[in-house]
Structure 1
């Protein structure tokens, strides 16, 4: 991991955000890891990508972290969305407490298993735990039932299955399992 930088996306980096997302959607695991296709993402106008980068670069609602290789290329990403208590989530379920929701986890082939995933999650969770008024009580994510590699990674870094299983949006025959990382004591 020498020479890699883990950092938040800047608002003016929309083209790099778009490029990394398109690469993620071309990954062989994309059909069970993401809820959009490369064609859908490619069809989005540049204004959407500008807004997305700006929205994940500052403030409370969301933050995207990238792993930047020594040469400056982006090799991975993790995004945390904040779900406020009293709202409804992506699945139309009530959100009872302020919590983070991890989405868009991606590491390029050849970068997996080198500690970058742990570093990205360290930055993402550190940011989530830094939020106040109200503080986030947990961070959660959903994993497709056929994505055993991702499940093993999330368990290894401290996420635990909550028992909640939901249908995959757009494919009611498939399921996603919720994994939760509770706020550390004193955090």
Structure 2
């Protein structure tokens, strides 16, 4: 059974665990690194839960998914930190977790960046209604990884 909820600062340890696991599993998918975030303090993790909206998803009681959003200018938000544990892929948990963020962002335009070579992730976002915008650029922390921007217009 899948369960998704919006994390609050008291969920900082769960947030930390799933975030560090995601960085270890898919280091080229994120703008940050495990080496950087492993040094964060409790205060840093709690602050991360107040500066963005974070949804966590569990499958059979084990947290295995994360999706977050940062407000941008106007009626736009950026979808970030999207990850689902390999054991939970294909179970609907990723769609439910991202869906919770999209529900939270209802009425806003949602953008995200995905690695050009991450075909499975782009296919997932396309199924959710995202389209490429035509913008592309290097991942800031590793310019050898090219990303494309995708958008889901106000919904």
SS in 1 for 2:150: strand
- 3-state secondary structure, aligned to 2:86: coil
Distance 1:52 1:121 in 2: 18
Using CA pairs below 8 Å that are at least 6 residues apart, which structure has the higher relative contact order?
2
Q: When you count helix as a share of all residues, which structure comes out higher? A: 2
Residue in structure 2 matched with residue 105 of structure 1 by the alignment:
82
1:102-151, Cα deviation, whole Å (9 max, x unpaired): 0000101110011111111221111001xxxxx52x10100011211111
Query: What are the equivalent positions in structure 2 for 1:111-122 lying under 5 Å apart?
Result: 111-122=88-99
1:16-165 correspondence runs (5 A): 16-27=14-25, 30-53=26-49, 55=50, 62-71=52-61, 73-85=62-74, 98-129=75-106, 136=108, 138-165=109-136
Q: Secondary structure at the match of 1:142?
A: strand
Contact 2:28 2:145 in 1 (8 A): no
Structure of greater Rg: 1
- Contact 1:32/1:146, CA 8 A, preserved across alignment: no
2:143, 2:4 → 1: CA distance? 36
Measured after TM superposition, the shift of residue 31 of structure 1 is 2.6
Aligned length: 155
Structure 2 distance, partners of 1:23, 1:112, is 15
How far did residue 39 of structure 1 move?
Answer: 1.5
Q: TM-score normalized by structure 2?
A: 0.93
| Separation in structure 1 between the aligned mates of residue 11 and residue 139 of structure 2, nearest angstrom | 30
Runs of 4+ in 1 over 4 A off after TM superposition: none
List runs of 5+ in structure 2 lacking aligned partners. Answer: none
Deviation at 1:172, TM superposition (A): 2.7
TM-score by length of 1: 0.78
More strand by share: 2
